[in-house]
A = this chain, B = another copy of it.
Amino acid sequence: MTAPMPEPVRASLAESVNDQPHRAAVPSEFEFQVTHRDAQTKARRGWLQTPHGAVQTPVFMPVGTLGTVKGISQEELEQLGAQIILSNTYHLYLRPGEEVVRGLGGLHRFMAWNRAILTDSGGYQVFSMSALRKLTEQGVEFRSHLDGSLHHLTPERAMEIQAALGADIRMVLDECTEYPAGMVAARNSMERTLRWAGRSLVAWRKISEEGRETGPGLLFGIVQGGVFPDLRTRSAEFIRRLDFPGNAIGGLSVGETKAEMYAVLEVVDSILPEDKPRYLMGVGAPEDLVNCVLRGVDIFDCVLPTRLARHNAALTRYQRLNLVNSVYARDPQPIDPTCSCYTCQNYSRAYIRHLITAKEMLSATLISIHNLYVLINLTIDMRQAILKGRFDAFVQDFMERAKTGQ
């Protein structure tokens, strides 16, 4: 059992949320529809209309931290079939600064990406990258990891920055609970995140009403609460009441077991509204995508495919290849002979290994293209399977193959 919320929290929530209509107005450019549901699992197929095109769900978002998916051009990203990418508010705020981006027409135009963009709140990076953090109810004071300069981030400021960037989906400022965390720490963190969610919502609405955003965008709430079912339940219930246009599950893939992650998803699934998109933050290994789609997740992001690529590791659905391995020195096969990506249609393992040993940039580009394709292609197959009513068979087959690695 968790303790009741202490008084200051209630007051703060009342202040920020309760005197506002709870229903978050969804800009007319947006629409979300679930078109198919799997009979056996929680998997669902749908689409999210944005001013930058429709996003078919379930979807995987490549991560473009600084307004570029590392090693890939925007043309290559389009050819890969990426429908939406994630960019990081913390990084873009520090460099080049959100006002520079706004002045250049917003993030889409700045980076020449005409499809959808989601920006995170900056919270995760403040807690994981910056130094000398001072956390208060108001927000967080931190020093830049670049030059040590002092900055403040509040829920309101996170909304201002994201409005300047003009992403199609924006995230409330949250505190990502560290793992492992005790119950009290997890609860305090979760409760603060809820108060910040309310303030974020108010600020988002105000900025939108005052026309101070580069373009319209949806705001997603974030469920926190560590691995504690009680905390996740309370967090999800509160987030549901705020009625965001979309909801995210944060604080996972931070060290907990897969069983713990799945348990959290199952708790949250029964609480979050079914007619809103659900985004599982920072998760993206192939087996995670399958296991979490079947637990009702619509949207994923992860640095895994591009980060692995820069460390010479190629993904397939069922295994990983370390391409620097000398067994590939004369291997004429593509990374995956069954893959249709640009890399596999043109280049051998031997060539890519050669690029790696010669420290040529093209290795990261080619492996990134392949790795992203693997995840994007997996979501395409899952969407098809849900649509055709055979997702259960798809999952069975996937799990069987995962055991043997092919």
Interface residues of A (CB under 8 A from B): 66-68, 70-76, 91, 95-96, 100, 103-105, 110-112, 329-330, 332, 342, 346-348, 350-351, 353-355, 357-358, 360-362, 364-366
Taking a contact as CB atoms under 8 Å apart, the answer to whether A329 and B95 are in contact is: no
Bound-state Cα–Cα, A71 to B71, Å: 9
6 example contacts (A-B, Cβ-Cβ < 8 A) are as follows A66-B360, A67-B354, A71-B361, A73-B76, A73-B342, A112-B351
Given A347-B112, A348-B104: A360 touches B68 (CB 8 Å cut-off): yes
Bound-state Cα–Cα, A110 to B329, Å: 12
Given A74-B346, A354-B95, A357-B95: A362 touches B68 (CB 8 Å cut-off): yes
Q: How far is the CB of A173 from chain B (nearest CB, A)?
A: 23
Given A96-B354, A354-B95, A366-B73: A332 touches B104 (CB 8 Å cut-off): yes
- Of A70, A72, A91, A362, chain B has the most CB atoms within 10 Å of the CB of A362
Nearest residue, chain B, Cβ from A359: B66
Chain B residues with CB under 8 Å of A74's CB are 346
Nearest residue, chain B, Cβ from A346: B112
Bound-state Cα–Cα, A365 to B71, Å: 9
Bound-state Cα–Cα, A342 to B79, Å: 15
Given A73-B362, A360-B70: A332 touches B96 (CB 8 Å cut-off): no
Bound-state Cα–Cα, A358 to B101, Å: 14
Q: How far is the CB of A214 from chain B (nearest CB, A)?
A: 14
Bound-state Cα–Cα, A72 to B355, Å: 12
Nearest residue, chain B, Cβ from A114: B346
Bound-state Cα–Cα, A72 to B358, Å: 15
Partner of A330, one of B76, B100, B332, B357: B100
Query: Which 10 residue pairs spanning A and B have beta carbons closest together?
Result: A112-B346, A96-B354, A66-B358, A68-B362, A68-B360, A71-B361, A112-B347, A104-B350, A104-B332, A110-B351
Given A103-B330, A330-B100, A332-B105: A95 touches B350 (CB 8 Å cut-off): no
Chain B residues with CB under 8 Å of A355's CB are 66, 68
Bound-state Cα–Cα, A332 to B111, Å: 11
Taking a contact as CB atoms under 8 Å apart, the answer to whether A351 and B104 are in contact is: yes
Nearest residue, chain B, Cβ from A342: B75
Chain B residues with CB under 8 Å of A342's CB are 73, 75
Chain B residues with CB under 8 Å of A100's CB are 329-330, 350, 354
Taking a contact as CB atoms under 8 Å apart, the answer to whether B96 and A66 are in contact is: no
Taking a contact as CB atoms under 8 Å apart, the answer to whether A329 and B96 are in contact is: yes
Chain B residues with CB under 8 Å of A105's CB are 332
Bound-state Cα–Cα, A147 to B347, Å: 27
Chain B residues with CB under 8 Å of A72's CB are 362
Q: How far is the CB of A245 from chain B (nearest CB, A)?
A: 29
Chain B residues with CB under 8 Å of A353's CB are 96
Taking a contact as CB atoms under 8 Å apart, the answer to whether B66 and A354 are in contact is: yes
Bound-state Cα–Cα, A104 to B333, Å: 10
Bound-state Cα–Cα, A100 to B362, Å: 19
Bound-state Cα–Cα, A347 to B68, Å: 12
Partner of A351, one of B67, B70, B350: B67
Bound-state Cα–Cα, A366 to B350, Å: 26
Taking a contact as CB atoms under 8 Å apart, the answer to whether A96 and B362 are in contact is: no
Chain B residues with CB under 8 Å of A332's CB are 104-105
Q: How far is the CB of A324 from chain B (nearest CB, A)?
A: 13
Bound-state Cα–Cα, A346 to B112, Å: 6
Given A73-B365, A332-B105: A110 touches B350 (CB 8 Å cut-off): yes
Chain B residues with CB under 8 Å of A354's CB are 66-67, 95-96, 100, 110
Q: How far is the CB of A349 from chain B (nearest CB, A)?
A: 10
Bound-state Cα–Cα, A104 to B352, Å: 13
Q: How far is the CB of A128 from chain B (nearest CB, A)?
A: 18
Bound-state Cα–Cα, A1 to B110, Å: 63
